[in-house]
Amino acid sequence: MPKTVAFQGIRYNLNKVDLVNALCPPYDTISPQQEDEYYAMSEYNAIRLVLGKQFPKDSKTDNRYTRASHSFNQWLAEGILIQETSPAMYYHEHTYTIGEKTHTRIGIIAAVRIDDGLDRYILPHEKTLKAPKLDRLRLMNEVKANLSCAFGIYSDPNKWIENQIKPNLSLPVMDIMRPGESQKLWVIQQPDLIDKISNMMIDKKVLLADGHHRYETSKTYRDRMRAITGKKTGNEHFDYTLMYLTNMDEGLTILPTHRVIIDSMGVGLVDLEYRIKEIFNMIPYDNKKTFLTALQKGGAGRIGLYVKGIPRYYLLEVLENADLLKFMTHDTHPLLKQLDITILHSCIIEPILGIGQSHGASRIAFISNANEALQIVESEKADIAFLLNANSISEIMNIAENGLKMPQKSTYFYPKIPTGLAFHRLG
């Protein structure tokens, strides 16, 4: 079961830094336009650590990773960042609005021991790619710290953290507001509260919701450090990773991750209609709002389609007699075969558009907002948009507990965990 412990976290010094301008989203969700915006917010924005700029004259000794390490250590020396004097956990509240509904997600930031060998209690659910893991490993080797939280989800219908820990907290050290959201952060250093949280997590399985590449990178880093140091106690700093733990029974929102095909290589509506007629029934819609409502209400087995230059939207419904299995490998698990994301990739994106898990990545973008995905195609910045419905938390947990992996970018847990709430040194 996951060993969850306090750690001497490193945080921004709020006497010197405006935290509103210092936080940023996870590095792999930041668009080029957003990157410039976060850089402009503050010379101390966390983006300078997790997504450093690259320059033509970069070398082995001067590159985005070495510069991140220099900034991290310089900010510590200048008091921009400060380290806790004693081990701590952090209680975080994130209130946000979607549509007309307001939600509050509660999370605990702690150090969680990385699984040994096969995943047993920390359960990933998405496939990963080699390049992002190599990128994060180079950063970790230089900075020697976890700069962003992996996102873990556990189940507790009784809401123990909210009911037992929150009443014992005093004033938050952080209380910030942005349009559509607010955040508060408390530092927990009372040994009795820390022990209660650690004990509560002992019998929990943790779904790895976000940060798969960072978690697997932490594993690789741990293995290398064990080989270098000979220390295999399981209790070294590098045996743990920084994690944000949330109860799936409170304030959790899952959005779909739509597929926008930047370059279809000439494949248009006529080609799609011909190639998928034995699999899907295509229902046309002239009105965007009606189309999106039909997709959402239709649920599983339905995929939205919009093609550049075509003044119509299409709802693809899987035919009852469709032979989907001939498009899938023989070892595809039954739980994966029924997922819309598997059907889309196996029946359309891979065989028709030629975009696989290990190639063609530059031709596809992953967008969580349906209107934004459609707008990209409408503005002719992309060729095709495929829209999906979100999977439920129970579906995702079931897949993870069976040791299965969904395609990359299958889920979008919202909102993302901000980078900059706390950092965890590995040495």
Instruction: Enumerate the β-bridge partners of residue 201.
Output: none
Within a 10 A sphere around the Cβ of 311, how many other Cβ atoms?
5
Helix, strand or coil, per DSSP, at residue 36: helix
User: Is 393 a member of any domain?
Assistant: no
Same domain, 269 and 202: no
User: Is 327 a member of any domain?
Assistant: yes
Grade residue 252 by pLDDT with cuts at 50, 70 and 90: confident
The mean pLDDT of 213-225, rounded to a whole number, is 96
**Neighbour-count burial of 277, counting CB atoms closer than 10 A to its CB (0-12 exposed, 13-18 middle, 19+ buried):** exposed
pLDDT of residue 402: 92
The mean pLDDT of 51-71, rounded to a whole number, is 97
Q: Output the pTM of the full model.
A: 0.92
Integer angstrom CA distances of residue 65 from 53, 70, 141, 367: 9, 9, 9, 27
pLDDT of residue 99: 81
Same domain, 272 and 228: no
Same domain, 171 and 231: yes
pLDDT of residue 343: 92
What is the tally of structural domains in the chain?
Answer: 2
Instruction: State the first-to-last Cα distance of the chain, in angstroms, to the nearest integer.
Output: 24
Same domain, 102 and 242: yes
- Helix ranges (DSSP H) in 202-349: 212-229, 269-276, 288-298, 334-337, 340-344
For residue 211, which of 285, 140, 125 has the smallest C-alpha distance?
125
User: Is 370 a member of any domain?
Assistant: yes
- Rounded Cα distance between 408 and 199, Å, is 33
**Neighbour-count burial of 321, counting CB atoms closer than 10 A to its CB (0-12 exposed, 13-18 middle, 19+ buried):** exposed
- Rounded Cα distance between 35 and 118, Å, is 36
For residue 13, which of 110, 78, 71, 93 has the smallest C-alpha distance?
78
Grade residue 167 by pLDDT with cuts at 50, 70 and 90: very high
The mean pLDDT of 58-67, rounded to a whole number, is 97
pLDDT of residue 249: 83
Grade residue 326 by pLDDT with cuts at 50, 70 and 90: confident
pLDDT of residue 116: 83
Same domain, 76 and 209: yes
User: Is 397 a member of any domain?
Assistant: no
Please say if the pLDDT value at position 197 is more than 60. Answer: yes
DSSP 162-181: IIIIGGG--S-SEEEEETTE
- Rounded Cα distance between 161 and 163, Å, is 6
Domain span at residue 298 reads 258-387
Same domain, 177 and 83: yes
Please say if the pLDDT value at position 180 is more than 80. Answer: yes
Same domain, 182 and 281: no
- Rounded Cα distance between 291 and 304, Å, is 8
pLDDT of residue 356: 83
User: Is 402 a member of any domain?
Assistant: no
Same domain, 32 and 170: yes
Same domain, 87 and 161: yes
pLDDT of residue 300: 86
- Rounded Cα distance between 126 and 406, Å, is 5
The mean pLDDT of 165-193, rounded to a whole number, is 94
The mean pLDDT of 366-370, rounded to a whole number, is 93
Grade residue 175 by pLDDT with cuts at 50, 70 and 90: very high
pLDDT of residue 359: 66
pLDDT of residue 128: 87
For residue 240, which of 125, 85, 122, 81 has the smallest C-alpha distance?
122
- Rounded Cα distance between 282 and 341, Å, is 17
Cβ 151 vs Cβ 393: under 8 Å: no
pLDDT of residue 119: 54
Cα radius of gyration rounded to whole Å, the chain = 23
Token digits for 325?
Answer: 């299995």
pLDDT (tens digit per residue) in 111-123: 999 998 665 789 9
Percent of the chain with pLDDT strictly greater than 90: 81
Highest mean pLDDT among 4-8, 120-124, 357-361: 4-8
For residue 308, which of 377, 364, 387, 374 has the smallest C-alpha distance?
377
How are strands ordered across the β-sheet holding 313-318?
Answer: 280-285, 313-318, 302-307, 384-387, 258-261, 364-367
Cis, bond preceding 415 (omega within 30 deg of 0): yes
Cβ 364 vs Cβ 355: under 8 Å: yes
User: Is 216 a member of any domain?
Assistant: yes
Token digits for 411?
Answer: 């889920």
Same domain, 117 and 264: no
Cβ 352 vs Cβ 222: under 8 Å: no
- Rounded Cα distance between 298 and 232, Å, is 52
pLDDT of residue 377: 97
Please say if the pLDDT value at position 182 is more than 80. Answer: yes
Grade residue 328 by pLDDT with cuts at 50, 70 and 90: confident
Please say if the pLDDT value at position 299 is more than 60. Answer: yes
Cβ 302 vs Cβ 389: under 8 Å: yes
Same domain, 238 and 265: no
Helix, strand or coil, per DSSP, at residue 288: helix
User: Is 399 a member of any domain?
Assistant: no
- Helix ranges (DSSP H) in 57-129: 64-78
Cβ 333 vs Cβ 402: under 8 Å: yes
Token digits for 342?
Answer: 């598997």
pLDDT (tens digit per residue) in 373-426: 999 999 999 999 999 999 999 999 999 999 999 988 899 999 999 999 999 999
pLDDT (tens digit per residue) in 234-249: 999 999 999 999 999 8
The mean pLDDT of 284-288, rounded to a whole number, is 97
User: Is 394 a member of any domain?
Assistant: no
Same domain, 272 and 156: no
- Rounded Cα distance between 421 and 427, Å, is 19
The mean pLDDT of 69-95, rounded to a whole number, is 98
The mean pLDDT of 41-52, rounded to a whole number, is 98
Tell me how far the alpha carbon of residue 65 is from its chain's centroid: 21
Token digits for 5?
Answer: 């412990």
- Rounded Cα distance between 47 and 35, Å, is 8
Please say if the pLDDT value at position 75 is more than 70. Answer: yes
For the chain, the average pLDDT equals 93
pLDDT of residue 13: 97
For residue 425, which of 8, 5, 3, 4 has the smallest C-alpha distance?
8
